[in-house]
Amino acid sequence: MLTSKQRSYLKSIANTMDPITHIGKEGISEGFLKQLDDILEAREIVKVNIQKNSILDTKETANEVAQLTNSEFVQAIGRKFVLYREAKEDPQIELPR
Name the maximum alpha-carbon separation found in the chain: 40
What is the CB-side half-sphere exposure of residue 76 using CA atoms within 13 A? 15
pLDDT tens-digit readout, 61-97: 999 999 999 999 999 999 999 999 999 988 999 999 8
In the prediction, which pLDDT does 89 show?
Answer: 87
Domains of the chain by start residue, with CATH? 4-84 (3.30.110.60)
Residue 48: its H or E element: strand 45-50
Residue 62 is predicted with a pLDDT of 97
Q: With contact defined as beta carbons under 8 Å apart, do 92 and 45 qualify?
A: no
Q: Is residue 47 a contact partner of residue 82, using CB atoms and an 8 Å limit?
A: yes
Strands 21-23 and 45-50, bridge-based pairing: parallel
pLDDT in tens, 17-68: 999 999 998 899 999 999 999 999 999 999 999 999 999 999 999 999 999 9
